[in-house]
Amino acid sequence: MSKQESEKSPKVALDNRNPKWLKAELFEGLLKETIPNYRNVKHFEVEPGCAAGENYATIMLRVKIDVQLKDGATKSVSYMMKVPPGNEQFKEMMRKHNIFDVEYKMYHEIVPDFNQLYRNVNVDVKFSAKCYDLKTPSEFGVILLEDLRPFGYRNADRLEGLDLVHTKAVLERLAQWHAASATRVEIKGAYSQLLQGGWHSKSRQEAMRNFTMIVRKPFLDSVKTLQGNEVYIESLTKAVDNITDELFRIVSCDENEFKVLNHGDFWCNNVMFKYDSEGKIEDTLLIDYQMLNYGPPARDLHYFLMSSTSYELKVNCFDYFIEFYHENLVKNLKLLNYPKKCPTLKELHISLIKNSIRGVLAAVGVMAAALLESHDDASLDGFFSQTEDAERFRHIMFTNPRYRKHLQMLLPWMYNRGAFEV
């Protein structure tokens, strides 16, 4: 092979499970645009972006490229690519509501607006990774992001849950996000229907009903063996049986209630931390904008605090975390010159009680996933399908001792707060 032919044929390392269209040629335009003195691709490699159980909705791939520059030097770059799973159930869902369209709009339009709101008041806030345009043969497109790991970002240990310092760092960032999202509405008007309501559509309602029907038995079977369950099991069963109707009933919230653009899938794996040389948190970034919904911030707060905090903090510090979030929310709303009345702490607590069914849903769903060791069957299929493998996966998830330990503490606390009343 001649030198010229060698330059045109990069060494390639591919997993046979990756999309067949995922080749180095797709990146030529992007590399020419973003890397000065680009000459050609020397090495192209695609590997899993995360272990099973770390990401459920899409397939995450890490794309590693060694680039030869015109002066002969070599530069290494890497990207994180989201591609849709190949199963028909996911494809059907994407045809009704393409979550990649949602995420693309967030990265390219909404998040930059949020960043700019803070720059306007001389505060430098970066919410997320860079997102790049990439044309592919994928029916639903892809999301291509900068790989944050080379910059020192990583996830916390989801199995242990977040400690006090990490939880406060996340709530600070969430308060900034919520404040920016509320302020933007006052400046630019309402968010598009794509961002506001895709996950509260009739098709989504049907998917939620299917999910609760499928997980009902293994979840309640596990709860019935918890000590003291007889106090709340009847109320909890009624709440689970009515969870979909209750969720969609409270979507139509009070018109005057304070609203934000909720992240919607706000658990610890969708937050990345950067640490300084002493191990202290230096920066916190949010990722994965697919399940957005416009409504009270109680939605994100229930989801995050139930799924992602450590056992020692989940119940004991819940009210403290709400006060801490509220303090930061009000501070940022005032900083951004939000023109309306800021929500009071009492109003926030009332909203949390009104939306407490979301805490129940988080306990049944995302908390179970967050506390489960990496597992080959950890995927949307594991949650939604009715195969023997999926049933076995759900049994493992709901009988997981770590999860049951959290449930043993959490369910009586929820019951005493009226969370199971529907």
Task: Say if residue 192 is in the same domain as residue 72.
Answer: no
Residues 284 and 398 grouped into a single domain: yes
- Domain assignment present for residue 110? The answer is no
Last residue of a domain, one of 64, 83, 102: 83
* Cα 315 to Cα 30, 175, 306, 308, distances in angstroms: 47, 20, 9, 12
Report if residue 36 sits inside a domain.
Answer: yes
Per residue in 250-286, pLDDT (tens digit) is 876 677 899 999 999 999 999 999 999 999 999 999 9
- Is 288 part of any domain? yes
- Most confident region among 13-27, 75-89, 262-276 by mean pLDDT: 262-276
**Do 287 and 386 reside in the same domain of the chain?**
yes
Give the model's pLDDT for residue 6. Answer: 41
Task: Check residue 22 and report its DSSP letter.
Answer: -
Choose one of 27, 51, 83: the last residue of a domain. Answer: 83
Total number of residues shown for the chain: 422
Tell me the backbone φ, ψ of residue 41, rounded to 5 degrees: -90, 125
Residue 289 shares a structural domain with residue 167: yes
What's the CA gap between 46 and 13, in Å, rounded? 6
CA-based R_g, the chain, Å: 22
CB count, 10 Å around CB of 178?
25
User: CATH code at 335?
Assistant: 3.90.1200
Neighbours of 307 (CB within 10 A): 27
Q: Assess if residue 399 is contained within a domain.
A: yes
Q: Which of these three, 22, 52, 83, is where a domain ends?
A: 83
Rounded CA separation 336/182 (Å): 10
Give tens-digit pLDDT for 336-366: 999 999 999 999 999 999 999 999 999 999 9
- The pLDDT mean for the chain works out to 90
Within-domain flag for 141:
no
Number of domains in the chain: 2
CB crowding 254-290: b at 16 or more within 10 Å, else e: eeeebbbbbbbbbbbbbbbbeeeeeeebebbbbbbbb
- 259 domain residue, yes or no: yes
In a domain, 124, yes or no: no
Q: Give the strand order in the sheet containing 153-154.
A: 153-154, 271-275, 281-286
Q: Does pTM surpass 0.85?
A: yes
- The answer to whether residue 131 is domain-embedded is no
Whose tokens are 């960043």? That residue is: 115
- Residue 247 belongs to domain spanning: 155-416
